[in-house]
Structure 1
Amino acid sequence: MLAVRSALFNACFMILTPLFSLLVILFRPFGFSASWFWAKLWSNTIFVLLRLLCAIRIKIEGREHLPEHACVVVAKHQSAAETVAMPILVPPYTWILKRELFNIPFFGWALALMGTIGIRRGSPREAIKQVISDGSKKLDEGRWVVIFPEGTRSAVGTAGNYQPGGVILAHKAEVGILPLAHNAGALWPKRGFIKKPGTITFRFLPYIPADEVKSIHRNELLKRLQNDIEAATRELGG
């Protein structure tokens, strides 16, 4: 039965994601907010289906840590679930992702039209320059910036190599950092067909204000973020 439910959910996900992506594309000429409406509705719809078909609920902790102004969100990357959930977790934002994702029909095209920062990972120096330039511009416009410092999804119980892009951007743009931990990989595994019943908990950790970001050495802050995010992830079972 679990396999059947997962198959139904996966089929719905594969149908609805291109459909909502097309709506994001079609409404983009009417402004960012018009497209954002459909992106957020996609997120909510997927999680309603996840609850109905796979008995997976979501819980959001630490909302009190969200600042009133745009910042850099540094998030754990374990699953597709956190990607789907992001529009309902934080205010309107832009992602920093690998540029190859723009090649995905409809979904990738929608990402590009929404101003996602697509970097070429084969050229780290140029990627950092782009993150600073484009990310600072989005932050100045009041758009939050979301980055997965591991660059790719890590298996449950493991940590990828945290990259300093988010820390560098926050320092250069003089904004704060909001860490995000979760256990999504335990229920929606990396490349996993079966979705396991339970609760995905997204936990925002204490906000690190801009003045603190500026006063701490980059490597020290990156290590602190990694330790805090990974510890919270393990505590949640991720």
Structure 2
Amino acid sequence: MSASQSRSASSGSLVRGLFFHAGLVTTVIIWALVSLPSFPLPLRFRYWWITRWCSIVAFMVRHIAGIRIEFSGLSNIPKRPGVVLAKHQSAWETLNLLPLFYPQSWVLKRELLKIPVFGWGLARLDPIAIDRGAGREALRQVIDQGREKIASGRWIVVFPEGTRVPPGETGRYQQGGALLACRAGVPVTPVAHNAGEHWPRRGLRIKPGTIHVEVGPPIPTDGKSPAQVINETSAWIEEAMGRIGRTHPATR
């Protein structure tokens, strides 16, 4: 690609990104406000209504950002809800794994619930909101609330790296999600994707292309320690990233 073509592509990514992020801000405010009447309703009704915003985001990802989604390994998804441990590169996976694992609860920072408008709706989805500085108490909340939610038929989605990690890098995989799976007696479903290559964690630029999402075979937890489970999970995810992530070290 010539220098002029590169500049043109970069400019196009910025324009797309500006429109896309403006759409995100606008629609989340509108949807939060129109969702206010659903707040007193039982969880399953308000959950269905509030999460329709994720469908709006998916539409904008395709038609404004110019990003297609390609899935593989969908047959690996267990028939009963359990724990999903997913790669964390972008905001994409926090919103767009919902159709695969429905209904679901996220393990997230309590501070997110304080965000005006957005946090109101998020709080009504009954997430597992923790104080990261609480140490063992935060872990206890994840275990206790997670087991209850799994028993009620909800998936628990955990990003074991803890924070969004740029493409080509690997964060430290934490054992909280694996511990929950072991205590609840359910398998771990690993998910790898390259969303960060198209919807980066920082900046406004959006790069058109294809997000590849791969769901791995369930990892049994019976008779295993959380350390064994998270080691198997991280090994599968990072090996899968070598296949689907263009900026992963294994593909350089």
> TM-score normalised to the size of structure 1?
0.93
What is the aligned counterpart of 1:114 among 96, 102, 125?
125
Contact 1:132 1:172 in 2 (8 A): yes
Choose between structure 1 and 2: higher helix proportion: 1
Aligned residues, how many? 235
Equivalences for residues 53-202 of structure 1 within 5 A: 53-202=64-213
Label 1:96 to 1:25 Cα distance change in 2 as closer, same or farther (>3 A). Answer: farther
**Deviation per residue, 1:174-216 (Å, 9 max, x gap):** 11211111000001111131110101122111012xxx30212
Q: Distance in 2 between matches of 1:139 and 1:77?
A: 22
Asked if 1:232 corresponds to 2:243, the answer is no
Residues 79-113 of structure 1, C-alpha deviations (whole Å, 9 max, x = no match): 01111202223110111111111111122222222
Report the CA distance shift for 1:234/1:88 in structure 2 as closer, same or farther (over 3 A). Answer: same
Distance 1:141 1:2 in 2: 42
Structure 1 residue 215 corresponds to structure 2 residue 230: no
Please give the residue correspondences for 1:4-23 in structure 2 after superposition, counting only pairs within 5 Å: 4-23=15-34
Following the alignment from structure 1 to structure 2, what is the Cα–Cα distance between the partners of residues 89 and 193?
A: 27
Cα drift, residue 52 of structure 1: 1.5
- The question of whether the paired residues in 1 share the 8 Å contact of 2:82 and 2:150 is answered with yes
- TM-score normalised by structure 2 residue count: 0.88
The alpha carbon displacement at 1:24 in A equals 4.1
Matched-pair identity in %: 39
Structure-1 separation of matches of 2:125 and 2:52 = 15
Counterpart CA distance in 1 for 2:173 and 2:188 is: 15
CA distance in 2 between counterparts of 1:135 and 1:175 reads 11
Cα distance change of structure 1 residues 14 and 137 upon mapping to structure 2, 3 Å threshold: same
Gaps of 5+ in 2: 1-11
In the alignment, residue 213 of structure 1 is paired with which amino acid?
T
> Displacement, 1:36?
2.7
Q: Secondary structure at the match of 1:88?
A: coil
For 1:49 and 1:59, the matched residues in 2 are separated by: 16
Of structures 1 and 2, the larger Rg is shown by 2
Taking the aligned partners of 1:92 and 1:24, their CA distance within structure 2 comes to 18
